């Protein structure tokens, strides 16, 4: 089972490292033919407009759209979340092309500019129930978007209090006035997070996505060719020193 990480720009390397720590075969994707045979795809955080321009420059959008409609799991983090949204607001002049798939509206730079980047802890009971570990996770928001609206088929996995320094954006002429906003959602085989799990030592988000991929593979495979069960291998965090991590988030092994 191979999982791809779109490697045009942004924090793709950190996603690759996180997957490999879990024993997963991770492939950096820069060309359309590298999507062939992948079981799932991660679109990392970065600069969404730049990533869209590079995807168009390398003629990747048709292949990415085909992948997004194949039913195979996809996970977008930060800028990747914007890519997977059906609707986006607050875009630069001229807008940008979206892959779609998640029935939600994402506001680009909801939390402000680069200087407004922040870290916080999120309540994630669904993640803890699936992957073990504490019921909270550390979340890194870097010039982050937020999910301001989503459809009835979309499950909210985590939300966040809107920081006092975050100027409420205008949504279709009306100011956003809610005190909390969604920052992690799932709809079928699409997962979206407004923050950067790959920048922490907590690999539960990656193991959660890998199990989504495994479940899809098992459904798609014939009864004689069921892939091997995935076992999330969380070794000691002492081996993770090569990442700009936030240590001590999960002290127990996740099975």
The reply to whether 47 sits in an annotated binding site is yes
The reply to whether 108 sits in an annotated binding site is yes
Beta bridge partners of 27: 4
Q: Catalytic annotation on 104?
A: no
**3-class DSSP assignment, residue 47:** coil
Q: Catalytic annotation on 13?
A: no
Give the list of residues 6+ apart from residue 83 with CB closer than 8 angstroms, or none: 43, 48, 51, 52, 76, 98, 99
The reply to whether 138 sits in an annotated binding site is no
Q: Are 209 and 190 in contact (CB under 8 A)?
A: no
Dihedral angle over CA of 154, 160, 163, 168, nearest 10 = 10
Looking at 196, 206, 217, 232, which residue is catalytic?
A: 196
**Alpha carbon distance 170, 22 (integer Å):** 41
Q: Catalytic annotation on 119?
A: no
The reply to whether 46 sits in an annotated binding site is yes
Q: Are 158 and 123 in contact (CB under 8 A)?
A: yes
Give the list of residues 6+ apart from residue 51 with CB closer than 8 angstroms, or none: 6, 8, 9, 10, 43, 79, 83
Looking at 78, 104, 160, 232, which residue is catalytic?
A: 78
Tokens of 58: 């390398």
Q: Are 88 and 78 in contact (CB under 8 A)?
A: no
**3-class DSSP assignment, residue 85:** strand
Looking at 14, 131, 198, 217, which residue is catalytic?
A: 198
The reply to whether 142 sits in an annotated binding site is yes
Q: Are 170 and 116 in contact (CB under 8 A)?
A: no
The reply to whether 113 sits in an annotated binding site is no
- How many whole angstroms from its chain centre is CA 51? 15
Q: Binding-site residues, please?
A: 46-48, 108, 142-143
Q: Binding-site residues for L-glutamine, please?
A: 46-48, 108, 142-143
Which positions are annotated as active-site residues? 78, 196, 198
């Amino acid at each position: 089972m191979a999982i791809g990480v779109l490697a045009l720009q942004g924090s793709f390397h950190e996603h690759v490292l996180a997957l490999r720590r879990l024993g997963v075969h991770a492939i950096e994707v820069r060309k359309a033919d590298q999507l062939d045979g992948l079981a799932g795809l991660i679109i990392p955080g970065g600069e969404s407009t730049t990533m869209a321009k590079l995807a168009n420059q390398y003629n990747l959008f048709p292949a990415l759209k085909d992948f997004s409609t194949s039913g195979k799991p996809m996970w977008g983090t930060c800028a990747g979340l914007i890519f997977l949204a059906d609707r986006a607001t607050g875009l630069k002049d001229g807008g940008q092309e979206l892959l779609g798939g998640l029935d939600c509206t994402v506001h680009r730079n909801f939390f402000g500019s680069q200087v407004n980047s922040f870290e916080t802890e999120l309540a994630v009971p669904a993640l803890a129930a699936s992957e073990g570990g504490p019921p909270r996770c550390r979340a890194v928001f870097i010039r982050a978007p937020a999910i301001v609206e989503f459809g009835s088929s979309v499950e909210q996995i985590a939300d966040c209090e809107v920081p006092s320094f975050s100027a409420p954006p205008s949504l279709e002429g009306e100011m956003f006035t809610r005190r909390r906003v969604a920052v992690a959602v799932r709809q079928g085989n699409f997962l979206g997070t407004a923050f950067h799990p790959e920048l922490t030592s907590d690999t539960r988000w990656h193991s959660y996505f890998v199990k989504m991929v495994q479940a899809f593979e098992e459904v798609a495979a014939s009864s004689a060719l069921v892939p091997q069960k995935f076992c999330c291998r969380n070794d000691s965090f002492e081996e993770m020193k090569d990442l700009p991590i936030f240590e001590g988030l999960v002290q127990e092994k996740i099975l």
